Structure 1
Amino acid sequence: MHERVSLRDYAALLDRYLRPYGPRVALLALFIFTGIGLRLAYPQVVRFFIDTARDGGAKEDLIWAAGVYLAIGLARQFVFLGGSYLGQDVGWRVTNTMRGDLADHCLRLDMGFHNEHTPGELVERVDGDTTTLSNFFSQFSAQVVGSFFLLLGVLTLVWREDWRMGAALSVFTLVSFAVINLTRSVAVPYYAAEREGFSRLFGFLEERLSGIEDVRTNGAVGFVLDRFFRVNRDAYGRVVRSETMGAALRSVIGILFAGGHALALGMGIWLYQDGIFTIGAVYLIFEYTTMLRFPLYQISEQINDLQRATAGLKRIEALYRIRPRIVDGDGEIPSGPLSVEFDDVSFDYFPGSPVLRGVSLRLEAGRTLGLLGRTGGGKTTLTRLLFRFYDVAAGQICLGGQPLPELSLRSLRQRVGMVTQDVQVFPATVRENLALFDEEVDDVAMLAALDSLGLSGWFHTLPDGLDTAITAGGLSAGESQLLAFARVFLSDPGVVILDEPSSRLDPATERQIDHAVRELLRGRTGIVIAHHLATVRRVDDIVIFDAGRVLEQGSRETLASDSKSRFSQLLSAGLEEYTA
């Protein structure tokens, strides 16, 4: 069941986003009403010219009327250009603001939301739906509002000529508005389905393109193309149905106008034959009747965009109604290394499928912890909970002695830094990648970070220094991780999480990474998800995970010297076999 969007919803949307641009909106309104006045004056000048010429009036009066006609024509073009520019300017300013608000809202939603929605679907929501609304702000509001007042002006002037003609055209206009109002809700399901089809198509493309290497190496190109044709065919069918509905609505308006035009022309001839109208008055009614075509056509055209705007607005409102389950705290985290404590923590992504069960551990400030365990044992989940991407189902996590729910998310994520194996490199300059587009980070701090991490040699190979443009494909795995180390170093966190930084690297790069890791962990609390013996030798404490439980924990030296400990047995058997 598709709910209808009320006029109050549209008014609230207009007020919220147009209010900051009040002067521009006021100027746009001035252009709109000036244009309406000029259009209504056109037939009056022509009627004066016709009646004056028919009655043998002065030549000077005819020349004067022709001059006014020409001046009105030139003024209309100026007003049209100014109104078009202001309409587009206001429309795009408003929708860019809306796009920013929606993107900010999505970025603040929980990870569970992002796991349920593909990036392509969110791009369609943030960009596609707001682009649809841009026409509502830039054209629909101006043109339909302007068309309404043009209709009102035409009817008022027709009533002045003859009340019977005015009454007939008024009834026709009311019937037309009633029909148009009824069609508002007819096409919404079709346009909503069209946007949903595009959302699925873009989501499908994003997922397949991001995994293009796996698709090719596994010979799945044909299968992907088959799925693409199915998704594309579904989107095509939705577009055909929505466009057909739009064409049907336009036809309805066209038929209405033809009937109204015939009515007005017939009554004009009748009143002329009765001696009530002059030839000029008949022309005036005919021209005003013809003029009705423009607002009715504009409304019939823009009604399609209103339906699309309705569908887009409903989808945007549905997205806004999704609220983050993570409630922000207000506590601030002090500087320096921080202690980390998990107290009987349990967690599951889906009910009935526990990932962590009764996990308890404590890491003192300034020490480094090595997390060991098989893939899927819960190590990565542990780090996600420390960032508070999710809230625990039971138990409590404390950072620096403070429960995570009491801390502000901004402070938490500033004081905890993480380097993963899959580093996100943006197609931008080295400066923008290091500072993550934060213009307040100065070059001196960036250069100092690179030097401290032993990256000066790499930096000097860059042709344009910090202004060198880089992409993900243009950096090796080692260079990408070094870049990530510098990012974390710049933020100066109290806790650093490393997901096996030396994994799958050549010996030379591994030595460079090892130096960077030592510098990054100096004076900070560290958590390392370990897969190699060399990494384990670097840590102070060990925790071994298995199936979401802590099997063993203690200082590395104590566990290594105890032949009965699981860690000592792993060292003897080979750590790589256990962590595979």
Structure 2
Amino acid sequence: MEDYELYDLDKKEKIDYKATFSLVYSLSKPYRKQLLTAFFYLIFSTVTSLMIPILAKYAIDKAIRAGNAKYLLLIMSAYLANSLIFLVFNYLSAMKLIKTGQELILGLKKNLYEHLLSLDTDYYAKTPVGKIMARVQSDTSALYELFTQTVVSIFKDVLLFAAIFIIMFYYNASLAKILLPVVIFIVVIVKIFIDKSSSVFVSVRKLIGEISGFLAERLNAVSTVQSFNKAEQEEAALEELNMKKFKAALKSEFYSIIFFMTLIMFDPVSKALIFGYGGAAVIAGSMSLGALVMFILYVGQLFEPIFMFSEHISIIQKSFSAGHRINSLLSIKPKIIDSEKPVYIDSFKNSVKFDGVWMKYSQDSDWVLKNISFEIPKGKTLAVAGKTGGGKTTITNLLLRFNDYQKGEITVDSRDLKKINIKSIRKLIGLVQQDIYLFPGTVAENLKLMDSSVEDSRLDYAIKILELEYFYKKHPLNKKITERGNNLSQGEKQIIALTRSMVLDQEILCLDEATSNIDPYTERMLTRAIKNVMKHKTMLIIAHRLSTIESADKILFLHNGEIAEQGTHEELICLKGHYYKYYSLQSGI
């Protein structure tokens, strides 16, 4: 898909039942054995429920009217045994469905998470996190309801409905035929309800996603909202979204209530017809009183699956709406994928080379990089400087395959980057960005990136190499870090991120504006650490502060996406060109 944005997908108000059913079927396929077991348990419980009207018939005709107390006692015992069997099989079915449903949704969430991790960074730039979370949490919960409460129950209801009709036709076909017009009318009502309500249920699920997205964005930016005194406006915006959801939910419930009340109306109508025609047959002597009572009980049971279906239909609509949204997410394909026969590399030996690389983010946009060529030999440091928006960060994005270039070639050890397995190239390259993300947990856990297989000795080694012992005395390895590292300064987060890259022992290190927006003391500490890294790693440094790249082996200065100048710090200063002017501006020369 050219456009990742989920809003476009949400505009499809009608549910694609075929695609959604295909998703539901594929999800349930690995659990067919468990679902069939639950279904068979329900069959047994259904059979026991069908026995109740028959037992009532024999109790009236063979025991009560005949005055046979022993036979009545036998019927009572059979009824109690039948009820016990019903409860046991209902319990077994419920437990099997709950366990299977949990396993199924756990697998679905795992698949969704794996899929989300495979998508390109462009997708997350265009899609609110809250909308994604709504799909992973809320929509999967709706599917859980479908599998645990609905799918097998519908099979049971259909089976019960069919079995009752067969029994009724077996005992008295002419009386059973009276109910056929009622059943046909109910089928028409169900069809109308599904057609009318499907778009409403989609709207409700869509608005839930929008509200989740709104909350996630605003809560992350709560300090900005408060500082500009915009709390009332944000409250009004949320109120507007909540009101839309309220109206859509009210409309969906209105449809459900009207549907349910319409079905309820047919229950007394059907019983009245059976009382009238059946009662006349009893008076005429062509039908026993027990048989009439049996028919009345079966009519009650006949409407039980219909009433249950009226409740299930709401769950089905919500679940299929959720399934439609999950399906739309799973149908999004990453733009950056491996070639058919990718090359796997486990080490870096020679050099990284850009050869005449051109890149733009879309067909309609301008070129971000124009004819970029350079080489980074193993163990050397290349720095890229230039004004904001000049294409510096794009170079690291291309090397890490976050984006792809349109012309030219990038090679790693003389291998075409596009033919190298994406995971293996990212395993070689560490990235320290300006905006550092740290996870809730200890400093040590963040240095290991939550990988328990990383030995503690790697942490000690990295801290020693970077000469950061003093920093980690102030911030010990067992110190707790809050979400996103909010209890640390920007510079402290960048030091931890730099240490992390050394701990994970990646052979190529990219620093993307890693020394921006930090205090002078932390900058000096970080600059010293970077110089120590240069002794051990191949480095690509995207620099805003030029003081951090003076010792780089080579510096490129980008201007409007092109290499305007290149050389060492001293050589570029002597040129008195773009780099010199930029350096002079920062250093106050």
TM-score by length of 1: 0.91
Over aligned residues, Cα RMSD in angstroms? 2.7
Q: Distance in 2 between matches of 1:127 and 1:109?
A: 19
Partner of 1:574: 585
Partner of 1:221: 231
User: Where does 1:233-248 land on structure 2 (aligned, <5 Å)?
Assistant: 233-248=243-258
Q: 2:371 aligned with 1:361, yes or no?
A: no
Q: Deviations over 1:48-80 (max 9, x none)?
A: 222233333432221121122122223322322
User: Where does 1:301-450 land on structure 2 (aligned, <5 Å)?
Assistant: 301-329=311-339, 330-336=342-348, 339-350=351-362, 351-450=364-463
Structure 1's 27 and 121: CA in aligned 2 closer, same or farther, altered over 3 A?
same
Structure 1's 246 and 345: CA in aligned 2 closer, same or farther, altered over 3 A?
farther
Bigger mean CA offset, 302-311 vs 238-247: 238-247
Structure 1's 443 and 175: CA in aligned 2 closer, same or farther, altered over 3 A?
farther
Q: Distance in 1 between matches of 2:78 and 2:97?
A: 28
Structure 1's 289 and 431: CA in aligned 2 closer, same or farther, altered over 3 A?
farther
Q: Deviations over 1:420-454 (max 9, x none)?
A: 12211112344543333334334443444344444
Per-residue deviation, 1:455: 4.7
Per-residue deviation, 1:556: 2.7
Q: Distance in 2 between matches of 1:461 and 1:112?
A: 38
Partner of 1:492: 505
Counterpart pick for 2:190 among 180, 183, 202: 180
Per-residue deviation, 1:188: 1.2
2:347 is paired with a residue whose SS is coil
User: Where does 1:458-537 land on structure 2 (aligned, <5 Å)?
Assistant: 470-471=482-483, 472-537=485-550
2:481·2:487 contact (CA, 8 Å) conserved in 1? no
Structure 1's 2 and 577: CA in aligned 2 closer, same or farther, altered over 3 A?
farther
Q: Distance in 2 between matches of 1:240 and 1:260?
A: 31
Bigger mean CA offset, 142-151 vs 531-540: 531-540
1:338·1:365 contact (CA, 8 Å) conserved in 2? yes
Structure 1's 338 and 211: CA in aligned 2 closer, same or farther, altered over 3 A?
farther
Structure 1's 253 and 207: CA in aligned 2 closer, same or farther, altered over 3 A?
same
2:513·2:542 contact (CA, 8 Å) conserved in 1? yes
Per-residue deviation, 1:576: 6.2
Structure 1's 577 and 45: CA in aligned 2 closer, same or farther, altered over 3 A?
farther
Q: Distance in 2 between matches of 1:469 and 1:507?
A: 23
Bigger mean CA offset, 79-88 vs 289-298: 79-88
1:150 is paired with a residue whose SS is helix
1:370·1:528 contact (CA, 8 Å) conserved in 2? yes
Counterpart pick for 1:211 among 215, 221, 227: 221
User: Where does 1:156-195 land on structure 2 (aligned, <5 Å)?
Assistant: 156-195=166-205
Q: Distance in 1 between matches of 2:316 and 2:190?
A: 11
Per-residue deviation, 1:467: 8.8
Bigger mean CA offset, 38-47 vs 56-65: 56-65
Q: Distance in 2 between matches of 1:112 and 1:13?
A: 26
Partner of 2:261: 251
Bigger mean CA offset, 491-500 vs 153-162: 491-500
Structure 1's 3 and 233: CA in aligned 2 closer, same or farther, altered over 3 A?
closer
Per-residue deviation, 1:237: 2.3
2:229 is paired with a residue whose SS is coil
Q: Deviations over 1:139-188 (max 9, x none)?
A: 11021111111111211211121111233334533442343244333211
Counterpart pick for 1:50 among 56, 60, 72: 60
Q: 2:277 aligned with 1:267, yes or no?
A: yes
Q: What amino acid is the match of 1:169?
A: L
Structure 1's 99 and 249: CA in aligned 2 closer, same or farther, altered over 3 A?
farther
Bigger mean CA offset, 502-511 vs 40-49: 502-511
2:19·2:324 contact (CA, 8 Å) conserved in 1? no
1:336 is paired with a residue whose SS is coil
Partner of 2:141: 131
Q: What amino acid is the match of 1:56?
A: A
Per-residue deviation, 1:103: 2.5
Structure 1's 569 and 337: CA in aligned 2 closer, same or farther, altered over 3 A?
farther
Q: Distance in 2 between matches of 1:554 and 1:333?
A: 30
1:499·1:529 contact (CA, 8 Å) conserved in 2? yes
Structure 1's 568 and 475: CA in aligned 2 closer, same or farther, altered over 3 A?
closer
Q: Distance in 2 between matches of 1:326 and 1:109?
A: 8
Counterpart pick for 1:198 among 208, 216, 232: 208
Q: Deviations over 1:24-65 (max 9, x none)?
A: 223212221111011111222222222233333432221121
Q: Deviations over 1:527-554 (max 9, x none)?
A: 1122334302231111112222221112
Q: What amino acid is the match of 1:547?
A: N
Partner of 1:546: 559
Structure 1's 7 and 495: CA in aligned 2 closer, same or farther, altered over 3 A?
closer
Structure 1's 214 and 259: CA in aligned 2 closer, same or farther, altered over 3 A?
same
Per-residue deviation, 1:272: 1.7
2:189·2:259 contact (CA, 8 Å) conserved in 1? no
Structure 1's 207 and 293: CA in aligned 2 closer, same or farther, altered over 3 A?
same
1:337·1:495 contact (CA, 8 Å) conserved in 2? no
1:337·1:525 contact (CA, 8 Å) conserved in 2? no
Q: Distance in 2 between matches of 1:442 and 1:83?
A: 47
Q: Distance in 2 between matches of 1:262 and 1:448?
A: 87
Structure 1's 576 and 99: CA in aligned 2 closer, same or farther, altered over 3 A?
farther
1:98·1:130 contact (CA, 8 Å) conserved in 2? yes
Q: What amino acid is the match of 1:48?
A: Y
1:177 is paired with a residue whose SS is helix
Q: What amino acid is the match of 2:288?
A: T
Q: Deviations over 1:110-142 (max 9, x none)?
A: 222222211111111222222211111111102
User: Where does 1:8-19 land on structure 2 (aligned, <5 Å)?
Assistant: 10=21, 12-19=22-29
Partner of 2:6: none
Q: What amino acid is the match of 2:111?
A: D
2:13·2:203 contact (CA, 8 Å) conserved in 1? no
1:338·1:524 contact (CA, 8 Å) conserved in 2? no
Q: Distance in 1 between matches of 2:19 and 2:43?
A: 24
Per-residue deviation, 1:496: 0.7
Bigger mean CA offset, 505-514 vs 533-542: 505-514
2:130·2:212 contact (CA, 8 Å) conserved in 1? yes
2:361 is paired with a residue whose SS is strand
Counterpart pick for 2:112 among 80, 85, 102: 102
Per-residue deviation, 1:565: 4.0
Q: Distance in 2 between matches of 1:432 and 1:454?
A: 20
Per-residue deviation, 1:300: 0.7
1:418 is paired with a residue whose SS is strand
Percent identical pairs in the alignment equals 26
Structure 1's 575 and 69: CA in aligned 2 closer, same or farther, altered over 3 A?
same
**Structure 2: which 5+ residue stretches go unaligned?**
1-11
Bigger mean CA offset, 182-191 vs 441-450: 441-450
Q: Deviations over 1:67-122 (max 9, x none)?
A: 22122223322322222222222222212212221222222122222222111111
Q: Deviations over 1:348-392 (max 9, x none)?
A: 234133322333333222211222111122112221122111111
Bigger mean CA offset, 311-320 vs 418-427: 311-320
